[in-house]
Chains A and B, each alone.
Chain A
Amino acid sequence: MDADHDNLQLDCRGMKCPRPIVEIAKLRRRESGPVLVRVTGDDLAFESDVRAWCEVTGNALKNLSSDQGNVVATIEFGARA
């Protein structure tokens, strides 16, 4: 993994379903990958939806942590075919 591409951040705090997932998908479309992205969200649906998005789209969910109502998901966008 290229270190320069290791620090993409996406702040989805304050956004409610379906917005965070739409924002992740928009970022995915801009990045040709592979790249690591840290996404922060505080919607109650965020954790469950981020898991589902990664599973359906085939992008790897590397880490998921929560801290005081904020959930931080680290996603590795796969290389594009």
Chain B
Amino acid sequence: MALGATTPPSPRLCLFCMSGQWDRLYAAFTIANGALAIGQEVDIFFAFWAASTMQSASGTRRRGLLGRLMGLMMPSSVGAAPMSHLHFGGLGRRLMSFVMRREGVDDLPVLIKQAEELGARFHYCDTSMRLLGFAAPDPKAVSGEVCGVTTFLSAARGAQVLFI
């Protein structure tokens, strides 16, 4: 049975993460954690910049010269993902981490790990990964599957869907 639920199963939650910005991923994973806590099943689809941030963070390599060049210009970890406002070349992001620690707010890597532990399923858009120069992810290093749009549509049927 889904985590925490005693009543009939709640609708599943299907998150479509497009943005690789730190604050948007933070919102996505906060919602995912909450949904898991109320017993919803959660599927998270990562496309484009979100897929890039998540795959880079997991150490997936990029192919060829073009892929490597892209890798140089994009965040290599979740912590390096830019904020949509007040980023100031990374200064604002560091300030945010400082404030989060001071306030006892869980940082993004904690939320990601917790969502995985509570059973969230991660999916990565195959086409995005190709366009952004990624090689096939190492299944031992990256949790989740690489998939296409039909997998997303199938998971989205009868589920709550959020595009972030």
Report A's interface with B, CB cutoff 8 A: 14-19, 21-22, 24-26, 28-29, 33, 52-53, 56-59, 77-81
Contacts and interface: CB of A to CB of B under 8 A. Distances in A.
Nearest to A81: B6
B5 A58 contact: yes
A25 B117 CA distance: 12
B156 interface: no
Given A25-B37, A56-B10, A57-B4, 13 more contacts: A14-B104, A18-B33, A18-B37, A18-B106, A21-B33, A22-B34, A25-B118, A26-B3, A33-B6, A53-B37, A56-B7, A59-B4, A81-B6
A56 B118 contact: no
A53 B33 CA distance: 12
A53 B38 contact: yes
A5 B75 CA distance: 49
Interface residues of B, number: 21
A22 B36 contact: yes
B73 interface: no
Interface in B92-127: 103-106, 111, 114, 118
A80 B37 contact: no
A22 B114 contact: yes
Nearest to A27: B4
Contacts of B38: 21, 25, 52-53, 56-57
B30 interface: yes
Contact of B7 (A14, A19, A21, A58): A58
